[in-house]
Amino acid sequence: MGITTHVLDTAKGRPAANVRVTLVRGDETIFDGATDNDGRARLTDRAEPGTYRLTFHTGAYNPDGFFPEATIAFRVENAEQHYHVPLLLSPFGYATYRGS
């Protein structure tokens, strides 16, 4: 059912728009784009089983921040499930979890 993300800027208390996001499985780039005005991105409509790397290019969004990027590796085991991988972002920290 696909993979989506949502980036929330916890320091500003609002969605993080226009954050570049890339999704890679193995050597294949599945998505290379940016979050919309609500901080969301639909990365793929169908996720095949495997290990994915989701990179948020946070340096352009937070130029004075500590982390130039945040990379999250995760596994897709069931292609029939939806995988939502949100990022809570601030200039000096980030957190993630498997969303719904």
Q: What is the mean pLDDT of residues 16-34?
A: 98
Query: Strand 14-15 and strand 87-90: pairing?
Result: unpaired
Question: What pLDDT, on a 0 to 100 scale, did the predictor assign at position 23?
Answer: 98
pLDDT exceeding 90 applies to what percent of the chain? 98
* pLDDT at residue 1 is higher than 90: no
**100 is a domain residue:** no
**65 is a domain residue:** yes
- CATH, residue 7: 2.60.40.180
Question: What pLDDT, on a 0 to 100 scale, did the predictor assign at position 29?
Answer: 98
What count of Cα atoms within 13 Å lies in the side-chain half-sphere of residue 83?
25
Domain with 79, as residue range(s), is 2-94
**67 is a domain residue:** yes
Domain count, the chain: 1
